[in-house]
Amino acid sequence: MKKKVLLYKAIPKQEYERLKARFDISFFDTVNDSNRSDFFTALKEAEGLIGSSLPMGPNVLDKALKLKAASTISVGTDQFDLAYLAERRIPLMHTPDVLNETTADTLFTLLMCTARRAVELSNMVREGRWTKSIGEQRYGTDVHGKTLGIIGMGRIGYALAKRGHFGFNMTIQYTNRSRNINAERDLNATYLSMEALLESSDFICVMTPLTPKTEHLIGEKEFSMMKKSAIFINGSRGKVINEKALINALSKRVIRAAGLDVYEVEPLPANSPLCTLDNAVLFPHIGSATTETRLKMVSCAVDNLIQALAGDVSKNCANGHLLKH
């Protein structure tokens, strides 16, 4: 008999067929009031889970009594409680590496758009407000040759730093849980304390995972330490930043501008004060959102689930370190 798998995201047909060839699939594109009880019935029987963007904490997974493996179509694992899963001996598989370059491309786009006020000025053209030279007060600021400070120099942080170093002759500095020797050797990156990085960077990009230790890592105190001319970029998770403090810093011009891909609440409510700020560039969580990369992520997650349900968690297991204890 085929193992039962709960799929909670629409995926390309060829990847769906790969799953279907091996497993008995229950598919939920979304979970809402009309299908919630069917979702929980399927969850109760599922040995495998695959999908993304749904909170899968203990309150949900306590009902998944037969669960043997979960596979998230993302590198971020913050929808899950890793320790809880490890306690139940359930591996959580994720999709590192396949999205590094695309996410770094997005972050650099965000950085450039914010520095050069691209969205604001493009809107000026579209709305017929380009009636004369834009004037000094709408000039952007240079990116090339400036200092890029990265908080969280991991896989994506490194890919972003590469763009800054080789493409834009930027000075790279970073803070991280541990030294990134490759970034120091390849990109001449300098390891700094958080304080030193905040005080001395022209561009500051946050690329840590969201964990209990990084929640609200950047708040009022940190914004006040940045240069008045600093441009802040968040591509990690919204909750790594105290969004209220960021709004305050932007509206009072404590910093120059921010480029955001992620928010405390997603989708960002249209009545968020962020939407009224002309010094904020707002992307709708599109770090990895290209056709090629999203397909690679799904493919990786399908492979991960097949392997994990066969007992092999040697690759891409996010809580492997906890399972060993």
Ligand X SMILES: O=C(O)C(=O)CO
Ligand Y SMILES: NC(=O)C1=CN([C@@H]2O[C@H](COP(=O)(O)OP(=O)(O)OC[C@H]3O[C@@H](n4cnc5c(N)ncnc54)[C@H](O)[C@@H]3O)[C@@H](O)[C@H]2O)C=CC1
Please identify every residue annotated as catalytic. Answer: 237, 266, 285
The listed partner (ligand Y, ligand X, none) that binds 146, CB under 5 to 8 Å by sort, is none
Q: Which stretch binds ligand X (CB under 6 A): 33-41, 74-82, 187-195, 214-222?
A: 74-82
Q: Which is nearer to ligand X, 147 or 234 (CB)?
A: 234
CB of 83 to ligand Y, least distance (A): 16
Q: Which is nearer to ligand Y, 111 or 309 (CB)?
A: 111
CB of 252 to ligand Y, least distance (A): 26
Q: At what angle do helices 13-22 and 291-309 cross, to 10 degrees?
A: 10
Site for ligand X in 82-111 (CB under 6 A): 99
Identify the H or E element spanning 25.
strand 23-27
Does residue 74 belong to the site contacting ligand X (CB under 6 A)? yes
Distance separating alpha carbons of residues 272 and 110, to the nearest angstrom = 19
Distance separating alpha carbons of residues 153 and 129, to the nearest angstrom = 41
CB of 314 to ligand X, least distance (A): 21
Q: Which is nearer to ligand X, 211 or 251 (CB)?
A: 211
Say whether the peptide bond before residue 267 is cis (omega within 30 degrees of 0): yes
The listed partner (ligand X, ligand Y, none) that binds 259, CB under 5 to 8 Å by sort, is none
Q: Which stretch binds ligand X (CB under 6 A): 73-81, 132-140, 217-225, 269-277?
A: 73-81
CB of 76 to ligand Y, least distance (A): 3
Nearest-5° Cα angle at 259, 117 to 299: 125
Please identify which residue in 106, 200, 288, 304 interacts with ligand X, judged by CB under 6 A: 288
Please classify residue 26 by burial: count the beta carbons closer than 10 Å to its beta carbon, then call 0-12 exposed, 13-18 middle and 19+ buried: middle
57, 83 Cβ separation under 8 angstroms: no
Residues contributing to the site for ligand Y (CB under 6 A):
75-76, 96, 99, 103, 151-157, 175-178, 207-210, 213-214, 235-237, 261-262, 285, 287-288
- Which H, E and C letters describe 176-242, residue by residue? CCCCCHHHHHHHCCEECCHHHHHHHCCEEEECCCCCCCCCCCECHHHHHHCCCCCEEEECCCHHHEC
CB of 201 to ligand Y, least distance (A): 14
* Alpha carbon separation from 118 to 113, 187, 248 (Å, rounded): 5, 28, 22
Q: Which stretch binds ligand X (CB under 6 A): 70-78, 165-173, 213-221, 246-254?
A: 70-78
Residue ranges binding ligand X (CB under 6 A): 74-76, 99, 287-288
